Amino acid sequence: MKKSFAAVLLALIPLLSLVGCTSQDPAQVIISKEREALDRWGNGDPFGYINLADTSMTYFDPSLEKRIDGKKAFEEYIAPVKGKISIDKYEMVNPKVQTHGEVAVLTYNLIDYVKGDTSRWNSTEIYRLVQGDWKLIHSHWSFIRPPMKP
């Protein structure tokens, strides 16, 4: 009897670890993941966002004419900026996470400070809970105020 109880307990340990991951406040987890990716981005490392991405993710930003589909295409798009971005500091303004079952929507404004200049962004990030981990399934960036054309 003792051996079968131990075997059952050992089989439950992986499941219990998943329960621990999902019992955390999704808003705190998602905002923390996003801040970590922003920290890495500001230091020239786009792989913080690539690591967040689900294989089926989609992506928009103002420089694109059409949506990017899939993690691999997303990685090919942002990998060339590795080592080329340097942001002095940033502010994540008014982040809000709305959860709907296993899907969460993070929206916020981002202000980047680079050498005395600022850029301001709207961000919408959609996450999905995949095997106990929040993964980025859609990312959409737009300028708060588009730059003036000369």
Run of H or E including 120? strand 117-130
The answer, as to whether pTM is greater than 0.85, is no
Closest residue by Cα to residue 68 from 79, 58, 56: 58
Q: Per residue in 30-44, pLDDT tens?
A: 999 999 999 999 999
* Whether the Cβ atoms of residue 138 and residue 125 lie closer than 8 Å to each other: yes
Between CA 121 and CA 134 the distance in angstroms is 23
Between residues 12 and 72, the one the model is more confident about: 72
Architecture of domain 26-143: Roll (3.10)
Amino acid at 42: G
Place of tokens 């967040």: 52
* Whether the Cβ atoms of residue 114 and residue 86 lie closer than 8 Å to each other: yes
Q: Per residue in 59-117, pLDDT tens?
A: 999 999 999 999 999 999 999 999 999 999 999 999 999 999 999 999 999 999 999 99
Domains in the chain: boundaries: 26-143
